[in-house]
Amino acid sequence: MNRKATAQSVVLSALREDIVSGVLGPGDQLVQETLAERYGVSRVPLREALKMLESEGQVINHPNRGYFVAELSVDDLREVYYLRSLLEDAALRQAIPTLDDADIEDIAALCDEIDDAALAEDVVLMAAANRRFHFAIYDAAGMPRLSRLLRQLWDATDAFRALYYQRSPNRERVSAEHAQMMVALRARDSDAVVQLHDDHRAHSVAAVEDMLMRHHNRVTENDSTFRTPARSSLQENP
């Protein structure tokens, strides 16, 4: 791997982490000079990383204004999670019959990692472990195109996931729901696993919808942008 590719992968990973953790929130402007200095890279790999995130729908490039973290909308949330429901149900039904005891124990270990990160209130580690947990099952379907599509949809919802994990009751709910999934997985009960995943997904959507709508209802100006608390070190002064 050449230096440019290495720098691009490093900054891409850093940007993803900052979006997941909420350091860069929906609607935040991504000032390239500031970010290049923050990540210790030149603007070339930074621009390439931003283009990749733009293709995933995580950032938006406004002409003459620059890049911004994609803003959250209820319609976007519903569409992405609807598509996820279709593809994830298909992956689960294909994957579960293929799992052996060793696979189940590996998945259980990932479930423990999620719980540990939740207890530590580490949203970044929790999100990463959660992705590994779910894709350990999806990938077992042996359908690489399906897995790629699912990863693109998951990438598009990193900011939503950050919002959800930031609340303690949601982290506790995730742990409880994953424990139920493990019981069904050990029993190789495909119908139960699919239903539990559907419920798990629906709870996430409902919680984030509520957060978004509560915020929008508090906004008195004609501005529907969802923004996290100001982060002046990463943004230009207004």
Q: What is the pLDDT of residues 67-105, one digit of tens each?
A: 998 877 788 889 999 999 999 999 999 999 999 999 999
Q: Is residue 232 part of a domain?
A: no
pLDDT, mean of residues 150-175: 86
How confident is the model over 229-238, as pLDDT tens digits? 444 334 433 3
Res 118 pLDDT > 60: yes
Domain range enclosing 105: 74-218
pLDDT-based confidence at residue 165 (cuts at 50, 70, 90): confident
Q: Are residues 175 and 132 in the same domain?
A: yes
Q: Is residue 223 part of a domain?
A: no
Amino acid (1-letter code) at residue 76: D
**Please, are residues 161 and 64 in contact by the beta-carbon 8 Å criterion?**
no
Q: Is residue 152 part of a domain?
A: yes
Q: Are residues 183 and 171 in the same domain?
A: yes
Q: Are residues 105 and 199 in the same domain?
A: yes
Nearby residues of 33 by Cβ (< 8 Å), 6 or more positions away: 43
Q: Are residues 124 and 207 in the same domain?
A: yes
Give the CATH number of the domain where residue 20 resides: 1.10.10.10
Mean pLDDT of the chain: 86
Residue 203 to residue 63: CA distance in whole angstroms: 37
Structure tokens at 182: 């493990």
Confidence (pLDDT) at 230: 42
Q: Are residues 94 and 207 in the same domain?
A: yes
Q: What is the total count of domains within the chain?
A: 2
Strand 59-62 relative to strand 66-69, pairing: antiparallel
Q: Is residue 113 part of a domain?
A: yes
Nearest Cα neighbor of 158 from 203, 123, 115 is 123
Tell which of 14, 37, 70 closes a domain.
70
Residue 125 to residue 133: CA distance in whole angstroms: 12
Q: Are residues 65 and 80 in the same domain?
A: no
Torsion angle (degrees, nearest 10) of CA 230, 226, 38, 166? 90
Residue 238 to residue 212: CA distance in whole angstroms: 24
Task: Name which residue leads in pLDDT, 226 or 49.
Answer: 49
Tell which of 70, 87, 107 closes a domain.
70
Q: Which residues of 183-206 are buried (b: 16+ CB within 10 A; e: fewer)?
A: ebbeeeebebbbebbeebbeebbe
Q: Are residues 95 and 65 in the same domain?
A: no
Q: Is residue 225 part of a domain?
A: no
